[in-house]
Amino acid sequence: MKRQEGERDRKRTQVIPVWTYSQARKALPYLASVMKTIREYRLEARRHQLAAARLADAPGRPHRAAIIAEQEEAREARRAEERSQEGIHELQQLGIFCLDPIRGEALVPFARNEQLAWFVYDLFDPECLSAWRYHDDDMEKRRPISEVRDIAEGSAVV
């Protein structure tokens, strides 16, 4: 069966489960645990990538042990990256998006004035959820969490 022209141009509608502020607060221990794990694996991957690059860039002709060590570092980097991706996927199953794994930032969706918005989770902030932003805001935009503490439950369609 041939597709119609309009089908390609239509945007795909995706339903994102939204959270309330109280639900997000209750999930903080779990979210912190997963974000710490993702961060650790991502840092481990970077360490192994750097070690592999240093071995590859060593002056002179590489000997057998150096070639094996470089391959092992590259393999360990891939393994660590795969584990970090598993954690990111685990969060995505909950509708949470890992913004920056190294900085420990994630976005938890909620609805505000019938618009998609995000609680900004920060692993290194003592409050963890101290800011929020609308979906269409600049990525750096942070609004005070006090504005949205009592959000109604529901779903947002984007």
Q: What is the pLDDT of residues 110-139, one digit of tens each?
A: 999 889 999 999 999 999 998 999 999 998
- pLDDT for position 2: 53
Inter-CA distances, 63 with 54, 68, 74, Å: 14, 9, 17
pTM (predicted TM-score) = 0.81
Domain positions in the chain: 15-157
pLDDT band of 41, cuts 50, 70, 90: very high
Nearest CA among 146, 89, 79, 148 for reference residue 116 = 148
Q: Which one is predicted more confidently, 44 or 61?
A: 44
Asked whether residue 3 carries a pLDDT value surpassing 90, the answer given is: no
- Measured in whole angstroms, the distance separating CA 5 from the mean position of its chain's CA atoms is 35
Q: Which one is predicted more confidently, 106 or 140?
A: 106
